[in-house]
Amino acid sequence: MTAFSLEPAQLAWCAELRVLAAERLRPLAGKGEPGRVNRALLAELGALGLLPRLFTSGALELCLMRESLAHACTEAETALALQGLGAHPVHAHGTDAQRAHWLPRVAAGTAVAAFALTEPAAGSDAAALSLTATPAAGGWRLSGEKCWISHAPEADFYTVFARTTPGAGARGVTAFLVPAYRPGLTGTALDMLSPHPIGALAFDAVPVTADDVLGEVDRGFRVAMDTLNLFRPSVGAFAVGMAQAALDATLGHTARRDAFGGKLRDLQSVAHQVAEMALRTESARLMVYAAATAYDEGAPDVPRRSAMAKLLATETAQYVVDRAVQLHGARALQRGHLLEHLYREVRAPRIYEGASEVQRSIIAKELYKNLEDR
């Protein structure tokens, strides 16, 4: 199989996922409360066998899931993705006891996971973390803040990145699995544009022990980057799913809409815009699939490819959704319209898991690194 064509079975599975998302997941998403964890939706994702796939799928399959779900139900896509983001460090770097306790519950949708990396003064510069892990009897005490954490403050556990060695930059960060019930851990919901919950966390001498470490002490940055290298292409897949939904809506609208004695699609200016939307969407899709395949094959250039895929796909989705809104006119801005929903959803992926500017820096760094290695 190449990165540029899917097998018939994969195409059939994607079609099945789109139907499931429309018929089984979208109704549950519609009943959810904005800014709150939709536990009924998570349970259905588990019952459909999609959450368990987070721990058995490669990067390409993860991308196909996210793209297909996003096309019909962005809320379901985001719920699945956040479970994966929060729990992947446990799956990939946790102990047998940590995996046995948490992963079956994550897969069933009964435990909510969260990835707690960002801080008020350390967003894109993840190596600048200041949440402090101070040595204490039996382990450490975590003190500081995390901010803009998806699923906070309602998650059942957090993958938390804290500084264990002062002044060591990325080399002095450790990843911890912190259950939400730990004393000293509190959270506050933030009122954000996104419909899913995002909050801030405060750590007031929260106790953690060696049993809570994910991976190795002072090697937590590796845990974070391993997770992001896997999930960045799939953020691109989420964006491609939204772009495709916007493109499909635009094709239907411009083919039906009467304007200037014909249909909108008869206007060359409109037809050319639709063609450009399709071109960019397909280009982004191919780069996402290529990056995911590179990850699955253990290619040496995964960081560059992952950054390129996320950058191109998220910027493309922003363009395509914006063009779709323009071609639909005022109706697209009406609350409840598909494009009004996508317009709100499409902005955040250009920021989280590394802003577009960070992706460009990663790409440039990897290019010059390759030059120096020759």
Please report, for the chain, the start and end positions of each structural domain, with discontinuous segments joined by +. Answer: 8-108, 115-218, 222-373
First to last CA, the chain: 30
Tell me whether residue 355 is exposed, middle or buried, using C-beta atoms within 10 angstroms of its C-beta: 0 to 12, 13 to 18, 19 or more.
middle
pLDDT of residue 4: 64
Query: How far apart, in whole angstroms, are the C-alpha atoms of residue 128 and residue 169?
Result: 6
pLDDT of residue 5: 78
At 31, phi and psi to the nearest 5? -90, -5
Q: How many CB atoms lie within 10 A of CB 143?
A: 17
Paired tokens of 83: 């479970």
Crossing angle for the helix pair 8-20 and 59-72, to the nearest 10 degrees: 40
Q: Report if pTM > 0.75.
A: yes
Crossing angle for the helix pair 220-256 and 302-328, to the nearest 10 degrees: 30
Query: How far apart, in whole angstroms, are the C-alpha atoms of residue 324 and residue 164?
Result: 48
Residue 137 parent element (H or E): none
Tokens 């998650």 sit on residue: 155
Q: What is the DSSP letter of 56?
A: T
For domain 8-108, give the CATH number: 1.10.540.10
For domain 222-373, give the CATH number: 1.20.140.10
Do the first three CATH levels of 115-218 and 222-373 match, i.e. the same topology? no
Give me the active site residues, please.
353
Topology (CATH) of 115-218: Butyryl-CoA Dehydrogenase, subunit A; domain 2 (2.40.110)
Handedness of CA 82, 88, 94, 100 (dihedral sign): positive
- What tens-digit pLDDT sequence spans the chain (374 residues)? 344 678 899 999 999 999 999 999 999 999 999 889 999 999 999 999 999 999 999 999 999 999 999 999 999 999 999 999 999 999 999 999 999 999 999 999 999 999 999 998 877 676 688 899 999 988 999 999 999 999 999 999 999 999 999 888 888 999 999 999 999 999 999 998 877 899 999 999 999 999 999 999 999 999 998 998 889 899 999 999 999 999 999 999 999 998 888 899 999 999 999 999 999 999 999 999 999 999 999 999 999 999 999 999 999 999 999 999 999 999 999 999 999 999 999 999 999 888 999 999 999 999 998 787 76
Q: How far is CA 282 from CA 58, 240, 285, 316, 317, in A?
A: 21, 8, 5, 10, 11
The pairing of beta strand 157-163 with beta strand 113-116: parallel
Q: How far is CA 155 from CA 30, 91, 196, in A?
A: 21, 17, 12
Paired tokens of 168: 């060591």
Query: How far apart, in whole angstroms, are the C-alpha atoms of residue 279 and residue 165?
Result: 48
